[in-house]
Amino acid sequence: MKIAPQQRIYVCFFLFAVSMGAMLSRLPDIQDALQIDKSELGLTLIGAAIGALVSLTFSSAIVARLGARTTAFLTILGTSALLALVPWMSAAPFVFALLLMEGLLAGALEINLNVEIDRIEAQLGRGVMNRAHGFWSLGFFVTALVSAFARQAGLSVQLHLALTFAFVLLAGTTIIAGMRNAPARPTLSHADPGHIALPTLGLLPLCLIGIAAFLVEGAGIDWSAIYMRDVFDSEPFVGGLGLTFFTFFMALTRLFADPFVDRFGSRTVTFTLLLVSAAGLCAVWLAPHQSVALAGFALMGGGCSAVYPLAVSAAAQRADRAAHLNVAALGQMSFVVFFLAPPLLGFVAEHAGIRTSYLACLPVILSAMACIRSLPFSRRMVAA
């Protein structure tokens, strides 16, 4: 069976999300097993943020040297294996150490898949970046739905994550084996490859846009189940629907966003989606009933959906240096926020209430709106 290059990347995004989503959807159970409070849980999860920060800063040259296929093998299967070990740990420091190693692999994975899909996009002559990230969201949706049933049925966290790893191992080995490295964009082939990825002044507005998207994504994915449990005392299945709705509408929007971007431009689409995110955050903050909260999570998912992929496209096409470095630097600032969201929001939740933690995301959304001009009107080369 012939599988197109972009479809292999789609599956890679999907499998990474399945692994991560399975673990995150069981955070209430992991928290109970470790006997720690929300703030301590957030500090435990920060291990992944530290690992990702180190990897995104220093691994771009390694990723370029290893190539797409080898990097995909190491990072997709490696992250899944490490996440499957989390529920077997008896204390929070051990979980921290595992997540630190997972973050190192996740940072390299982020660079690899985004650069590769940008190169494939250049070969195809049409946008597929949002669709690729749509499969990331689709993976979270699928695993959230499965996890809701697994929790309701009383399936142990250990067995749940072990079965998830078995699926990723089988599917990942099959798909990644046929990957081939796509050629670099001709206009970027002589850019300085560099070794350390740090944001440049021109990249900072794109970083802020990415940070806003990932903060909303982290708030929806990491804390929705705990929010539903603590605020409305929802039963496990209903509590899991917050994550399910978030990831479903995130995936749906990403899968169909590219034609709208081609027609209306990156700026218009991004501004609109940020407004939708803000509306969703307000709904969750003020929700008088769990149905309103679920609607808020749906709006948050749809709102933050295509914002980060559009920032990645703009960063990858900048002509000032190699795409690996710009994508890594953008990911360094925004992808790490995805991991930092748990401790930051957990701290707010512990001291001001979990509702207020969602309100705290709004200033970042407003700041991102002020940076819209850093995006191109359409898919084209961004000036250095």
Buried-state track 165-187, b at ≥16 Cβ within 10 A, e below 16: bebbbebbeebbeebeebebbee
Q: Which of 328, 240, 336 shows the shortest CA–CA distance to 290? A: 240
> 383 exposed, middle or buried (CB, 10 Å; 0-12, 13-18, 19+)?
exposed
Tens digit of each residue's pLDDT (9 = 90 or more) over 94-108: 999 999 999 999 989
Q: Give CA angle at 175 (327, 305), nearest 5°.
A: 45
CATH number of 140's domain: 1.20.1250.20
Helix (H) or strand (E) holding 34: helix 27-34
Contact 364, 211 (CB under 8 A): yes
> 158 exposed, middle or buried (CB, 10 Å; 0-12, 13-18, 19+)?
middle
Q: For residue 120, give both structure tokens.
A: 């494939």
Contact 242, 45 (CB under 8 A): no
Q: Give domain status of residue 70, yes or no.
A: yes
Domain encompassing residue 312: 5-181+196-374
User: Residue 14 has what pLDDT?
Assistant: 95
* Alpha-carbon gap, residue 372 to 333, rounded angstroms: 17
Distances (CA, A) of 238 to 145, 244, 298, 350: 11, 10, 14, 23
Q: Give domain status of residue 59, yes or no.
A: yes
* Alpha-carbon gap, residue 329 to 197, rounded angstroms: 5
Q: For residue 306, give both structure tokens.
A: 């295509």
Give the number of other CB atoms < 10 A from CB of residue 363.
10
| Number of domains comprising the chain | 1
Q: Give domain status of residue 190, yes or no.
A: no
Distances (CA, A) of 382 to 60, 194, 206, 308, 378: 21, 20, 12, 16, 10
Contact 378, 265 (CB under 8 A): yes
Q: Give domain status of residue 383, yes or no.
A: no
Q: Give domain status of residue 245, yes or no.
A: yes
What are φ and ψ of residue 318, in 5° steps? -65, 140
Q: Give domain status of residue 208, yes or no.
A: yes
Q: Give domain status of residue 128, yes or no.
A: yes
DSSP string, 112-179: HHHHHHHHHHHHHTS--HHHHHHHHHHHHHHHHHHHHHHHHHT--HHHHHHHHHHHHHHHHHHHHTT-
* Alpha-carbon gap, residue 111 to 121, rounded angstroms: 15
With a cut of 50, list the residues of the chain below it in pLDDT: 188-191, 381-384
Count how many Cα atoms sit within 13 Å of the Cα of residue 286 in the half-sphere of its side chain: 6
Distances (CA, A) of 178 to 133, 140, 247, 263: 20, 24, 28, 34
Q: Give domain status of residue 129, yes or no.
A: yes
